[in-house]
Amino acid sequence: MTSLESKAKTFLELHRPGTPAVLPTVWDAWSANLAVAAGFSALTVGSHPVADSIGRPDGEGMSYTELLTRAKQITESVEVPVSVDIESGYGLEPAQLIDGLLEAGAIGLNIEDTVHSEGKRLRGAEEHAELVRGLRQFADAAGVHVVVNARTDLFLRQDGDDSDRVDRAIARLNLAVEAGADVLYPVGRHSDADLRRLTSELSKPVNAIGIPDAPNLKELADAGVARVSFGPFLQAALAKEADRLFGAWK
């Protein structure tokens, strides 16, 4: 586990508020090598683009085994640290999730609070924190400080009133911090004011989403973001370019 622990430490050190790590979201060995060749020092594996690439729907339409198979192909093709989006955990126990990630050569994870296998309900804040706690405990027991990125879908789902959504997200994510999260991901597109509240009131580095063909790295840095990933939007941008190329041959 020494190599994985070293990669995990390197990966965590990249998360610096105000000078965010840009972690391209990839889905196979080809896209991973493309990002590394462009000079990026770490990667994220996105569940949505992986699912699209193997003909499965997003939202745990693929199995954890299918995701890990692709993740292992990526880690075996690049030397940089790789983090994997494990959606809401595929109904598995924390020990199974951590064992699978480490076996695949990954050193980080995203865990979201929408439970796809249970009618897409939103986990309670304490319930989600307990899952984070289990992931942290089993990772530490394995000897690797797997970088846990705790995600909330409150903004995507627009659950509850708009007026206190930021407050509820902050409370929810700070519980995840107490449980052992290293990074916090209030996924969605935010106003500058809301993003600044999130980065200033959350007690761990904040992950924001970036749109590859509409770069705003300076604005995200100025707002205190520590990590930028692309979700499904890199794959979407490449699909748009492919459409343009294909169009010339019709």
Summarised one tens digit per residue, pLDDT across range 44-85 is 999 999 999 999 999 999 999 999 999 999 999 999 999 999
Yes or no: say if 44 and 147 are a contact pair by the CB < 8 Å rule. Answer: no
User: What pTM did the predictor assign?
Assistant: 0.96
Q: Residue 111: its pLDDT value, please?
A: 98
Q: Residue 136: its pLDDT value, please?
A: 98
Give the Cα separation of 75 and 82 in Å (integer).
7
Q: Residue 164: its pLDDT value, please?
A: 94
- Tokens (6 digits) for 120: 């897409």
Q: Residue 190: its pLDDT value, please?
A: 94
Q: Within the chain, which residues score under 50 in pLDDT? A: none
- Tokens (6 digits) for 13: 């050190």
Q: In the chain, what are the domains?
A: 2-247 (3.20.20.60)
**Cα–Cα–Cα angle for 131, 132, 135, rounded to 5 degrees:** 90
Query: Tokens 């996105």 sit at which residue?
Result: 46
Give the Cα separation of 112 and 123 in Å (integer).
9
- Tokens (6 digits) for 158: 């627009």
Q: Residue 1: its pLDDT value, please?
A: 61
Give the Cα separation of 134 and 110 in Å (integer).
14
> Which residues fall within 8 angstroms of residue 3, CB to CB, at 6 or more apart?
none
Yes or no: say if 44 and 110 are a contact pair by the CB < 8 Å rule. Answer: yes
